[in-house]
């Protein structure tokens, strides 16, 4: 009987080692799903630094009025053109903002819109290359004890990663008399000062929340705004009628439940570009030109930088069938149509710098005239680019909503032409503005 050949244990061991070595070198045993998740989100995380002037005695910081206070926070990229979401409390009242990207580059940033109640803000940096956008998840199917990670600028330590679980859902948290949060995610992933505005991610690296608060005096009790709630606010903050002065008139609703993520058309405004396009209630918008659309935030950012009159090809599903419609953006700036001027919010501190300390006694802020139409009522009645609008009729003007409120007033015809007040080189000037018929 033939005997099998003798084996050589040392050689066999060496062969096995050679087979295993490439796997070890590739990192397959160490590169866990957690590592991959953090690696996926890291390029879109932004570290924020700021400085503000303490104008009154501040118990929190124990500073004297006039002192400079450094701040820190985190943001996450929502659009490749440099639009970043963070918490409003991170950017409120700051003198300057700087954003550090994952590649280490430092950029000046500016606040473009915010929602104080929701505690969210959009800031913008000017970049020459497309930025990596957040990997978008959903908070509609979060599970208790699901693993999550918080990424952010904790205590100024940039890109800090902490790990925990979903501790609870639908938390109501009252911070003070002015700020109450609703429907928050509670997590035991360590959230520290500086984490505010940063992403809470799941094991797939998808953003499921925006970190917002901690429980003072507690250990590992932190809170995040569910990403589905945050995205609805983001859609309003980057809406083109707010940032671009264009208009579509589409009424929509985000429909998200687990893997079902889509944007439903719920109606169109009468005589709007949307109504003219043929969109109907129940349509599902899949694409806006080349931009895939899964929610209203996607749709609004697809229209950023597009001018009035631009045709947009919308891919939709109606009654189970795919088709394409053309939406032509309109000029939605009611203020531009009514007065022939475009306005930008400025704060009382900037008014003080431009016009002197005494303005603080009279004005809480104003609206800078950034552009003016020479055939419009504003120019014809003495308003010039660079003026600061502070009043219309008998009301102070500190934001665009104030102007819209005047234009929508049911008694507008009775007090038109509207008396205005502007600041120019430290002087208060006034006049009257007739409202054109195209404003209503």
Residue 184 and residue 270 share a domain: no
366 CB burial (10 A radius; 0-12, 13-18, 19+)? buried
Identify whether 137 is part of a domain. no
Identify whether 21 is part of a domain. no
Range of the domain at 99: 39-125
pLDDT, one tens digit per residue, over 76-106 is 999 999 999 999 999 998 999 999 999 999 9
Residue 346 and residue 303 share a domain: no
Last residue of a domain, one of 213, 230, 247: 230
Task: Indicate if 89 belongs to the active site.
Answer: yes
Identify whether 389 is part of a domain. yes
Please report the beta strands in 188-329, taking only residues with DSSP state E, as ranges in sequence order. Answer: 199-201, 207-214, 222-226, 246-247, 250-257, 260-268, 284-288, 291-292, 311-318, 321-328
* CA separation for the pair 425, 167 (Å, rounded): 56
Contact criterion met (CB below 8 Å) for 38 and 205: yes
- The per-residue pLDDT for 179 is 85
Contact criterion met (CB below 8 Å) for 257 and 243: no
pLDDT, one tens digit per residue, over 153-193 is 999 999 999 999 999 999 999 888 788 999 999 999 999 99
Residue 221 and residue 153 share a domain: yes
- The per-residue pLDDT for 55 is 63
Residue 341 and residue 323 share a domain: no
Identify whether 135 is part of a domain. no
Task: Indicate if 241 belongs to the active site.
Answer: no
- The per-residue pLDDT for 217 is 81
- The per-residue pLDDT for 56 is 54
Last residue of a domain, one of 298, 331, 364: 331
Residue 425 and residue 401 share a domain: yes
Last residue of a domain, one of 286, 304, 331: 331
Query: Kind and range of the H or E element at 18?
Result: helix 9-26
Distances (CA, A) of 241 to 236, 250, 289, 335: 9, 11, 19, 11
Give the CATH number of the domain where residue 297 resides. 2.30.42.10
* CA separation for the pair 127, 259 (Å, rounded): 33
Identify whether 197 is part of a domain. yes
Give the CATH number of the domain where residue 121 resides. 2.40.10.10
Ranges of residues in the chain whose predicted pLDDT is under 70 = 1-27, 55-66, 359-360, 436-440
Residue 432 and residue 367 share a domain: yes
Task: Indicate if 50 belongs to the active site.
Answer: no
Identify whether 162 is part of a domain. yes
Catalytic option among 50, 113, 196, 302: 196
- The per-residue pLDDT for 303 is 97
DSSP code per residue over 378-408: HHHTT--TT-EEEEETTEE--SHHHHHHHHT
For the chain, give the percent of residues with pLDDT over 70: 89
Please report the beta strands in 227-360, taking only residues with DSSP state E, as ranges in sequence order. Answer: 246-247, 250-257, 260-268, 284-288, 291-292, 311-318, 321-328, 330-331, 341-347
Task: Express the helix, strand and coil content of the chain in percent, nearest 5 each.
Answer: 25, 40, 35
How many CB atoms sit inside 10 A of residue 129's CB? 8
How many CB atoms sit inside 10 A of residue 412's CB? 16
Mean pLDDT for the chain overall: 88
- The per-residue pLDDT for 413 is 82
Residue 345 and residue 317 share a domain: no
- The closest of 247, 276, 250 to 265, measured between CA atoms, is 250
Residue 367 and residue 307 share a domain: no
Q: Is the pTM of this model over 0.85?
A: no
Residue 302 and residue 347 share a domain: no
Distances (CA, A) of 304 to 82, 242, 244, 308: 12, 10, 7, 11
Q: How many domains does the chain have?
A: 4
Sign of torsion over alpha carbons 66, 72, 74, 75: positive
Residue 372 and residue 351 share a domain: yes
Catalytic option among 89, 248, 355, 393: 89
Identify whether 401 is part of a domain. yes
Reduced to 3 states, what is the DSSP secondary structure of residue 91?
helix
Identify whether 132 is part of a domain. no
- The per-residue pLDDT for 13 is 40
- The per-residue pLDDT for 85 is 98
* CA separation for the pair 198, 154 (Å, rounded): 10
Residue 63 and residue 95 share a domain: yes
Catalytic option among 79, 119, 254, 333: 119
Rg of the chain over all Cα atoms, to the nearest angstrom: 27
* CA separation for the pair 206, 200 (Å, rounded): 8
Residue 345 and residue 262 share a domain: no
* CA separation for the pair 366, 385 (Å, rounded): 14
């Amino acid at each position: 009987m033939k005997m099998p050949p003798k084996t050589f244990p040392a050689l066999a061991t060496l062969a096995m080692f050679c087979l295993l070595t490439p796997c070890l070198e590739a990192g397959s045993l160490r590169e866990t799903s957690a590592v991959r998740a953090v690696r996926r989100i890291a390029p879109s995380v932004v570290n924020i630094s700021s400085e503000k002037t303490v104008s009154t005695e501040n118990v929190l910081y124990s500073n004297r009025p006039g002192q400079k206070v450094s701040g820190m926070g985190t943001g996450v990229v929502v659009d490749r053109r440099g639009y970043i979401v963070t918490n409003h409390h991170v950017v409120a009242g700051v003198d300057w903002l700087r954003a550090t990207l994952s590649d280490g580059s430092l950029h000046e940033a500016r606040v473009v819109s915010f929602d104080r109640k929701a505690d969210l803000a959009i800031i913008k940096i000017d970049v020459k290359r497309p930025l990596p956008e957040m990997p978008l998840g959903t908070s509609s199917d979060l599970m208790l004890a699901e693993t999550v990670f918080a990424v952010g600028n904790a205590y100024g330590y940039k890109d800090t990663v902490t790990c925990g679980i979903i501790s609870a859902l639908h938390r109501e948290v009252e911070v003070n008399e002015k700020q109450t949060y609703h429907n928050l995610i509670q997590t035991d992933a360590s959230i520290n000062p500086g984490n505010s505005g940063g992403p809470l991610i799941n094991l797939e690296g998808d953003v499921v929340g925006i970190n917002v608060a901690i429980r003072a005096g507690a250990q590992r009790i932190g809170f995040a705004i569910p990403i589905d709630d945050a995205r609805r606010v983001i859609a309003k903050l980057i809406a083109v009628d707010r940032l671009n002065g264009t208009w579509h008139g589409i009424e929509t609703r985000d429909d998200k439940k687990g893997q079902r993520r889509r944007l439903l058309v719920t109606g169109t405004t009468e005589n709007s570009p949307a109504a003219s396009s043929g969109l109907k209630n129940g349509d599902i918008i899949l694409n806006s030109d080349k931009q895939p659309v899964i929610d209203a935030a996607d749709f609004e950012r697809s229209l950023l930088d597009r001018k009035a009159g631009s045709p947009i090809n919308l891919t939709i599903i109606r009654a189970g069938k795919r088709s394409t419609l053309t939406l032509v953006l309109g000029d939605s700036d009611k203020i531009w149509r009514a007065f022939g001027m475009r306005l930008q919010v400025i704060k009382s501190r900037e008014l003080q710098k431009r016009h002197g300390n005494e303005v603080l006694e009279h004005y809480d802020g104003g609206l800078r005239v950034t552009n003016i139409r020479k055939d419009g009522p504003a120019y014809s009645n003495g308003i010039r680019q660079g003026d600061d609008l502070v009043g219309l009729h008998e009301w102070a003007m500190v934001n665009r909503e104030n102007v819209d409120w005047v234009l929508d007033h049911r008694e507008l015809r009775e007090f038109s032409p509207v008396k205005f007040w502007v600041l120019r080189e430290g002087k208060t000037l006034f006049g009257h503005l007739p409202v054109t018929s195209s404003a209503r």
